[in-house]
A = this chain, B = another copy of it.
């Protein structure tokens, strides 16, 4: 779904470069969307119900938006963000919308602004520029669209030309929504909507109620997770179930990139300390680190591509967490070390091309020093797209400028939208494609690449590369 209302959006200002970039972008814009990692609720597509009102669709669940207003003193409750204790928040969609639009200027120069504007114009066909004066009119236009059948999730999925969308579930999930999708011809291996195996809640001892989760894992998998061997067996069972539901990837969100290769006895001892409640923070870190080695070994057996998302300090804003819970914008990046952290994993399996590990970062100050040299030197490593806070035009550009010279294009994994905002998916991919077009245009203009090569590369980046790296469409 190429965007049309601002054809030169994000393309370089220099007229010569822009002309080149326009041609390259046109090739990218034709490609279907591969969305190998994100957080769309599978029920959305399984049930295919109409979306709720514009505010509940666009504002309430988007912590990029509510966070920015909080930074200027607007409490999330005024924007309808639910509270942990159920204390009342604003529920009138129109009031939430107005409150939000009052702070619209705060988003100048941000990707949130770009994504929302493009969602309004390209997805909803609303050409009225958003401003406090037009807030109601825009709200009404979007609300009217949402009532139309063409704006139901599955219709949009097809209109967005999404080829495959991967959602993310925990091993405790019964995958019922994915079963329904498969029954409707939308899911299952090689299907349009697939799942991803994300075991953080049973791997991270610091997760709320980890021991309870481990017990539930046993129940779901039909294994005795009271022992470490049973725990591993249960994980293997759930991976099988996920693969049967179309998964081609696992995903791991850890505070650091630490990996560790313990022997089975040490690992079992850690696991038992965890269950007994006597594990400390170092134990928890060691167990997470070691489990990445276990998952790498499982990947060598079952073929799931590993995704590693390190470096986020979760729920840093304690007031926000106490009032509104997880995943509402209180996560902040910390400095992330990769070289020494990944050494145990790379020593064990780094040169094995059958393993595939896609590493993401929240710390752009590792691009040239660690990430590009590692990805350019180990067969198993790929660089994921700049992630969260970095999934923006300026950083997407800096990412290419920084990593290409050492890792090339083909050790990167293509764009990932990583979003729960379904309606913004085409727009986010569009932004990345435009930035890549601008970067490639510069390489051509500087005589570092031929036009033919750039044309092939932009299609690889937009479509072929993510499909291949994440094994999209493959049956494991």
A105 and B446 contact, Cβ closer than 8 Å, known pairs A364-B369, A369-B364, A372-B389: no
Is A381 among interface residues, defined by CB-CB distance under 8 A?
A: yes
Q: Which of A356-393 contact B (CB under 8 A)?
A: 362-365, 368-370, 372-379, 381, 389-390, 392-393
Residue of B319, B337, B350 touching A351 (CB-CB under 8 A): B319
Q: Mark A108-138, 1 if CB is under 8 A from B, else 0.
A: 1111011000000000000001000000000
Q: Measured between C-beta atoms, what is the minimum distance from A425 to chain B in Å?
A: 19
Q: Quick check: which of A202-210, A245-253, A298-306, A405-413 contacts chain B, the rest being far away? A: A405-413
Q: Quick check: which of A34-42, A177-185, A284-292, A328-336 contacts chain B, the rest being far away? A: A328-336
Q: Mark A1-43, 1 if CB is under 8 A from B, else 0.
A: 0000010111111111100000000000000000000000000
Residue of B129, B350, B370, B445 touching A333 (CB-CB under 8 A): B370
Q: Is the CB of B453 within 8 A of A377?
A: no
Q: Which of A335-364 contact B (CB under 8 A)?
A: 335, 337, 339-340, 343, 346-347, 350-351, 353, 362-364
Residue of B13, B320, B446 touching A446 (CB-CB under 8 A): B13
Q: Quick check: which of A47-55, A151-159, A310-318 contacts chain B, the rest being far away? A: A310-318
A334 and B329 contact, Cβ closer than 8 Å, known pairs A67-B377, A393-B405, A449-B108: no
Residue of B nearest to A103 (CB): B410
Q: Is the CB of B317 within 8 A of A373?
A: no
Neighbouring B residues of A377 by C-beta, 8 Å: 67, 70-71, 316-317, 329-330, 332
Is A86 among interface residues, defined by CB-CB distance under 8 A?
A: no
Q: Is the CB of A376 within 8 A of B108?
A: no
Is A77 among interface residues, defined by CB-CB distance under 8 A?
A: no
Q: Is the CB of B339 within 8 A of A73?
A: no
Q: Is the CB of A332 within 8 A of B374?
A: yes
Q: Is the CB of B333 within 8 A of A369?
A: yes
Neighbouring B residues of A363 by C-beta, 8 Å: 369
Residue of B nearest to A361 (CB): B369
Most buried by B among A16, A71, A376: A71
Give bound CA distance, A363 to B114, whole Å. 29
Neighbouring B residues of A447 by C-beta, 8 Å: 6, 8-10
Neighbouring B residues of A102 by C-beta, 8 Å: none
Neighbouring B residues of A400 by C-beta, 8 Å: 109
Neighbouring B residues of A330 by C-beta, 8 Å: 377
Give bound CA distance, A86 to B25, whole Å. 50
Give bound CA distance, A303 to B184, whole Å. 62
Q: Mark A407-424, 1 if CB is under 8 A from B, else 0.
A: 111110000000000000
Give bound CA distance, A113 to B373, whole Å. 16
Q: Measured between C-beta atoms, what is the minimum distance from A319 to chain B in Å?
A: 5
Give bound CA distance, A456 to B106, whole Å. 12
Give bound CA distance, A316 to B71, whole Å. 36
Is A443 among interface residues, defined by CB-CB distance under 8 A?
A: yes
Is A427 among interface residues, defined by CB-CB distance under 8 A?
A: no
Q: Is the CB of B71 within 8 A of A453?
A: no
Q: Is the CB of B379 within 8 A of A369?
A: no
Q: Is the CB of B335 within 8 A of A337?
A: yes
Give bound CA distance, A181 to B41, whole Å. 64
Give bound CA distance, A457 to B110, whole Å. 14
Give bound CA distance, A372 to B14, whole Å. 29
Is A474 among interface residues, defined by CB-CB distance under 8 A?
A: no
Q: Is the CB of A109 within 8 A of B409?
A: yes
11 pairs, A vs B, C-beta closer than 8 Å: A6-B447, A8-B447, A70-B379, A109-B409, A109-B449, A317-B351, A319-B347, A333-B369, A334-B369, A335-B337, A335-B369
Binding site for B on A (CB under 8 A): 6, 8-17, 67-68, 70-73, 105-111, 113-114, 129, 313, 316-320, 329-330, 332-335, 337, 339-340, 343, 346-347, 350-351, 353, 362-365, 368-370, 372-379, 381, 389-390, 392-395, 400-402, 404-411, 442-443, 445-450, 453, 456-457
Known contacts A73-B379, A108-B408, A335-B369, then 8 further A-B pairs from the complex at CB < 8 Å, ordered by chain A residue = A10-B448, A68-B376, A316-B343, A317-B351, A329-B377, A332-B370, A363-B369, A365-B369
